[in-house]
Amino acid sequence: RKEVEQDPGPFNVPEGATVAFNCTYSNSASQSFFWYRQDCRKEPKLLMSVYSSGNEDGRFTAQLNRASQYISLLIRDSKLSDSATYLCVVNAPYSSASKIIFGSGTRLSIRP
């Protein structure tokens, strides 16, 4: 089992739709969680950190479910500009240090 798993997609949804992605992680001791957005041939950019209580930033809502070991990202009223790959990132204890682990990303395509 991969340490961090995401549905690769692609998700193809119409503009204005609501879309949600999940990301599961295997290490129950994982400590911090992030969603990054990556446009084609560009670097990943931090979209939002994911807090235990859940957090919202405009049209974006992130949730953490520690019991089931997954995080989610909800995008409401999707825009054409939301088309990108969304990377789930988990920081997990590993031996005596911590390790940042990327999911392989979920591709989202918004159509007019």
Partner 1 sequence: DAMVIQNPRYQVTQFGKPVTLSCSQTLNHNVMYWYQQKSSQAPKLLFHYYDKDFNNEADTPDNFQSRRPNTSFCFLDIRSPGLGDAAMYLCATSREAGNSPLHFGNGTRLTVT
Interface contacts to partner 1, rule CB under 8 A = 31-32, 34, 36, 41-46, 49, 87, 89, 91, 97-100, 102-105
Sign of CA dihedral 71, 22, 58, 45: positive
Distance CA 16, CA 87 (A): 22
Residue among 3 and 15 whose Cβ is closer to partner 1: 3
Question: Is beta strand 11-14 parallel, antiparallel or unpaired with respect to 106-111?
Answer: parallel
Query: Which tokens is 19 given?
Result: 């879309």
Work out how close the CB of 73 gets to partner 1 at its nearest, in angstroms, rounded to a whole number: 15
Output the smallest distance, CB 80 to partner 1, in A: 22
Please report how close the Cβ of residue 7 comes to partner 1 at its closest, in angstroms: 14
> Residue 77 gets which letter from DSSP?
S
Please say which residue, 15 or 27, places its beta carbon nearer to partner 1: 27
